[in-house]
Amino acid sequence: MLRKIGLALVGIIVLIVAFPTFSLKLAQWLKPAQIKTQEAAVSMYNHETGQIIKLPMNEYLLGVVAAEMPASFPVEALKAQAVAARTFIMQRMVPGGVANNKHPGADVSSDPKEGQAWISREEMKNRWGPVKFMEYYYKIKWAVDSTKGQVITYQNQLIFPAFHASCGGGTENAEDVWAASAPYLKGVDCPYNADPNPDRQVTFTLAELDQKLKTNLSATPVVAGNKAIPVLVTKETGTGRPKEIKIGSKTYPATMLREILGLRSTRITWEIKGDKITFTTRGYGHGVGLCQYGAKGMAQQGKDYKQILQHYYTGVEIVSMD
- pLDDT in single tens digits along all 322 residues of the chain: 433 334 343 443 333 433 344 445 444 444 554 555 555 899 999 999 999 999 999 999 999 999 999 999 999 999 999 999 999 999 988 765 566 678 888 899 999 988 899 999 999 999 999 999 999 999 999 999 999 999 999 999 999 999 999 999 999 999 999 988 999 999 999 999 999 999 999 999 989 999 999 888 777 665 544 455 578 999 999 899 999 999 988 999 999 999 999 999 999 999 988 889 999 999 999 999 999 999 999 999 999 999 999 999 999 999 998 7
CB atoms within 10 A of CB 213: 18
How does DSSP classify residue 284? Answer: B
Q: Which amino acid is at 10?
A: V
pLDDT at position 31 is 53
Question: CA-CA distance, 227 to 249, in Å (whole number)?
Answer: 18
Report CA-CA distances (Å) from 103 to 44, 46, 99, 119, 227: 9, 10, 9, 18, 51
Question: CA-CA distance, 60 to 58, in Å (whole number)?
Answer: 5
Question: CA-CA distance, 65 to 71, in Å (whole number)?
Answer: 8
The pTM for the full model equals 0.85
Determine phi and psi for 19, rounding to 5 degrees.
-130, 90
Residue among 274, 146, 117, 301 at smallest CA distance from 203: 274
SS3 category, 16: helix
* Residues comprising the chain, all counted: 322
The count of C-alpha atoms lying within 13 angstroms of the C-alpha of 282, restricted to the half-sphere facing its C-beta, is 14
- CB within 8 A of 70, min separation 6: which ones? none
Helical segments of 146-262, H only: 206-213, 254-261
Class of residue 315 by CB neighbours under 10 A (exposed 0-12, middle 13-18, buried 19+): exposed
Q: Which amino acid is at 113?
A: K
